[in-house]
Amino acid sequence: MRLRTLTISLVVAATVLLGVSAFAQEAIELEGTVYLRSGQTLSGVIRIAELGVVPGSGIGILLGGGGAFTVEVDGEDQTVSASDLKMMEASWANLGTEQDPRWKIEQITLTTQDGEKIVGKPTWLIHASEVSIEGQPAVHAFPLAGTDFSADNFITKIVLGEPLPEEVPPPAEEAPAPAEEAPPAVEEAPAIVIGPPEEISLPPPLVATAEGIAIPAEAVSFTITCPECGKKIRITINTEVVEQ
């Protein structure tokens, strides 16, 4: 009886351990951001983010161990588990027409937590998308879904952890301020050089003497010709006696 009780206890313990192990695998935390072809982003705990319907085509806390992506590289399969994954990028192409679309993933790039990049092709045949973020409505894109299908809902990128910083365009270079225009140069009138009295000819009533030029007491106004430019110049002279 004691042996039977011991056996039952071991079975129960093993069952509990298996259940705890399975729950631990399911409870793996996968927080990140899923990018859709439309430009929409979904951030939070990733329950499901799949590009197909078979193991190796997606990640999420609802998948065993958090899931994984398996791609074909040079004829060999390479798998990156959710715990080692940092980013997944998928390139989609329509090989059909708008009326008869045939969407296919042409290339998948996996970036590991160590920064290694693995570029390959999907190892599954049916290419689709299913996204479920905790607390948010699910989004899907199944090509065979008829009118409910939208290629804008295809997953194009998954980033685990903090979302990628938005690309900020470099600040536009400010155009240099227009240089201040220099004021137009003022052409100076040529100076009139009056030499010694014996070298110049003065109009009346000015009189050249040995001591200088004799100027009458009343105002004198006369016109001379500029020896440099040939222009007529009118000169008015007022005399005033200032006591010293």
The DSSP-derived string for the chain is -HHHHHHHHHHHHHHHHHHHHHHHHHT---EEEEEETTS-EEEEEEEEEESSSSTTEEE-TTSGGGEEEEEEETTEEEEEEGGGEEEEEEEEEE-S-SSS--EEEEEEEEEETTS-EEEEEES-S---EEEEETTS--EEE-GGGGGG--GGGSEEEEEESSPPPPP-PPPPPPPPPPPPPPPPPP-PPPPPP---GGG--PPTT-EE-SSSEE--SS-EEEEEE-TTT--EEEEEE-------
DSSP β-ladder status, 232-237 and 220-225: antiparallel
CA distance linking residue 39 with residue 7, whole number of Å: 58
What is the chain's pLDDT, residue by residue, as a tens digit (244 residues)? 443 443 334 333 434 344 434 444 445 789 999 999 999 999 999 999 999 999 999 999 999 999 999 999 999 999 999 999 999 999 999 998 888 889 999 999 999 999 999 999 999 999 999 999 999 999 999 987 777 889 999 999 999 987 656 544 456 566 666 667 777 766 654 544 444 444 555 556 656 665 556 666 666 677 777 777 777 777 777 666 555 5
The amino acid present at 35, given as its one-letter code, is Y
Task: Say what the pLDDT of residue 209 is.
Answer: 61
- Cα 121-141-147 angle, rounded to 5 deg: 135
The first and second tokens of residue 213, run together, are 């030029």
Asked if 190 and 226 touch (Cβ cutoff 8 Å), the reply is yes
